Amino acid sequence: PALALCLRATARSTTRVDFRQDEFSYRSDLGWILGPEFRSTFIMAGIFLLMLALSFVGSIVVESRKAEQLENQARSMYLELFPGQPEPERPMAALGRAVTQAQDRADFLGLYGGNLSALDLMTRLSALIPGDLKLKFDEIAIDPKVIRIKVTTDSYESMDRLENELRTEPHFASVDVAGQAKRQRDGSVTFSLNIPLQIPGEDS
On whether the CB atoms of residues 166 and 125 are closer than 8 A, the answer is: yes
Question: Per-residue pLDDT for 81 more than 80?
Answer: no
CA distance 69 to 76: 11
Question: Per-residue pLDDT for 149 more than 70?
Answer: yes
- Whats the size of the chain, residue-wise? 204
Round to the nearest angstrom and report the end-to-end CA distance of the chain.
Answer: 116
In the chain, pLDDT over 70 holds for what percent of residues? 71
What three-state secondary structure class fits 28? coil
CA distance 142 to 30: 83
- Per-residue model confidence (pLDDT) at position 187: 92
- pLDDT tens digits, one per residue of 18-76: 555 555 555 665 555 566 666 677 778 778 888 888 888 888 888 878 878 888 887 88
Helices 118-128 & 156-166 angle (0-180, nearest 10): 120
Residue of 176 and 6 predicted with greater confidence: 176
Question: Per-residue pLDDT for 115 more than 50?
Answer: yes
